[in-house]
Amino acid sequence: MQQFSELNLCPSLLNNLAKNEFVTPTPVQAQAIPPIMEGRDVVATAQTGTGKTLAFSIPILEALAALPRTKTVKVLILSPTRELAMQVSEAMHKYGRRLGARVLPVYGGQPIYRQIKELQRGVDVVVATPGRARDHVARGTLSLDEVAVVVLDEADEMLDMGFAEDIETILEATP
């Protein structure tokens, strides 16, 4: 793949990428996006700043654009820190805004009642830290019954930080 335009993406997403001067994919994007778009599982390892977030965000946003709007969460992205959760959430929102993608960051240190209110309104993508996601699942405020995609962003870091049990509990709540 030489350019994003070769991916058959919806025009809104392609325009968003071009508007932000993303025309040519990085190596991790070129290798990861096609198999993700085919529905295959992907494990990607690349240095910080190489475009891993867009590598999983582009196929997710493309898939969401084709789905009818419901109140149920379709994508769960787990991140080890609130800073990374915010960063991923902002990127998903930025590139998915024109597609109508509803993205909610969910992490500790933020009032949980606001998160609950947004979850009740309906969101497509939840970007969460494992601890706060597990808390919402346990409370019944985050249903993962219709999740079609799970991303473990910086999975090695989450395991190093001791989130293995939280991740297992969360994944057990997904189809």
pLDDT, one tens digit per residue, over 73-113 is 999 999 999 999 999 999 999 988 888 899 999 999 989 99
Q: Compute the average pLDDT of residues 56-64.
A: 93
Q: Is 124's pLDDT higher than 80?
A: yes
Q: Is 25's pLDDT higher than 80?
A: yes
- Choose among 68, 64, 74, 91: nearest CA to 10: 64
For 149, list phi and psi in degrees, rounded to 5: -135, 135
How does the average pLDDT of the chain come out, rounded?
Answer: 93
Q: Compute the average pLDDT of residues 147-161.
A: 95
Q: How confident is the model at residue 132 (pLDDT cuts 50, 70, 90)?
A: very high
Asked whether the CA dihedral 142, 117, 70, 43 is positive or negative, the reply is negative
Query: Cα–Cα distance between 50 and 67 in angstroms, integer?
Result: 29
Work out the angle at residue 175's Cα, subtended by the Cα atoms of residues 55 and 108, and round it to the nearest 5 degrees: 65
pTM, two decimals, is: 0.94
Quickly tell me which residue has 């994003």 as its tokens: 4
DSSP letter for 154, please.
T
Q: Compute the average pLDDT of residues 16-27.
A: 89
Q: How confident is the model at residue 1 (pLDDT cuts 50, 70, 90)?
A: low
Q: Is 44's pLDDT higher than 70?
A: yes
